[in-house]
Structure 1
Amino acid sequence: MISDRHAPTRQSYGTAYDQMLEKVRYEGAYPTRERAEEAVRLVLAGLGRQLTGDERVDLAGCLPLEAARVLTAQIPDPQPLTGWAFVKDLAARTGASLATTRWDTGSVFSAVAAYAGPHLTTRILRHLPSGYALLFGRAELTSAA
């Protein structure tokens, strides 16, 4: 069998998504895989309503297929939300508390940042309104005066 050791190897989509869910489950200290998946779907759908352009396409290309589908199935909102408004919107959609929704968001964004890498994560944060950096576990980016 001939193989190209320089060709990228891609895990089966199910396995990659399962690993993402386990990362979120661990980061968020969720009791079950189902609870982690609920958080992933909620937060990625919300992010899909906020993210546009090349950053959206590039992020979808980094995520496991199931996660990318959740992200890209959403139609972007014409008026992007700040980070805090994003959390409030997700909480209102689910009826969860703001604290729980903030926790879910941070847990999922931690995994998203791991898949995206630091360069794409920085691009995403520059593309979104203020307040998302803290949700991704980073200091808020500011423009030089």
Structure 2
Amino acid sequence: MRWEAFLKEVGERGEYRSEDEAERAARVVLGLLGAHLVGEVRSELAARLPETFALVLLNPLQAKEPLDPQRFVRATAAWIDGATDATAAWDVGAVLSVVADAAGEDLMEGILLQLPVGYDLLFGRPQPL
């Protein structure tokens, strides 16, 4: 996916006022996501993202332990100036839904297998019980 297309989608889904806001959300969310993915799954996802965001995913923010979905949202809020848990949830949903589209169904299965239960909702891809 190209840079412009990725940011346009994130911007539309997040209803951001500027491309800078969309980019900031994407960098933080992908940095946190990268800390939770390993191996081939992370590499395959990076290959489907614009180069700059692929590098963010491959050089993640440090996580001492896997974050459940709620803590992932709180961590996102902590990294975005002025964010609340509610605005961070919005940012996470905007970015991860675009990531899910770029990944496709097969790769998404692998991604969700590496993440704690509940991330399917953050990606906008609820899994059957």
TM-score where L is the length of structure 2: 0.91
Measure, in 1, the Cα distance between the counterparts of 2:16 and 2:63.
Answer: 29
Larger RCO (alpha carbons 8 Å, 6+ apart): 2
Query: Which runs of 5 or more structure 1 residues have no equivalent in the other structure?
Result: 1-10
Measure, in 2, the Cα distance between the counterparts of 1:39 and 1:49.
Answer: 16
Counterpart contact for 2:76–2:92, Cα < 8 Å: no
- Bigger radius of gyration among the two: 1
Match of residue 111, structure 1, among 76, 98, 104: 98
Amino acid of the structure 2 residue aligned with 1:17: W
Q: Percent identical across equivalent pairs? A: 41
Aligned residue pairs, count: 128
Q: How does 1:1-145 map to 2 (within 5 A)?
A: 16-74=2-60, 77-94=63-80, 95-140=82-127
Measure, in 1, the Cα distance between the counterparts of 2:118 and 2:73.
Answer: 10
TM-score where L is the length of structure 1: 0.81
Counterpart contact for 2:34–2:60, Cα < 8 Å: yes
C-alpha RMSD of matched pairs (Å): 1.7
Amino acid of the structure 2 residue aligned with 1:46: L
Q: Secondary structure at the match of 2:63?
A: coil
Amino acid of the structure 2 residue aligned with 1:133: D
Counterpart contact for 1:51–1:76, Cα < 8 Å: no
Query: Which runs of 5 or more structure 2 residues have no equivalent in the other structure?
Result: none
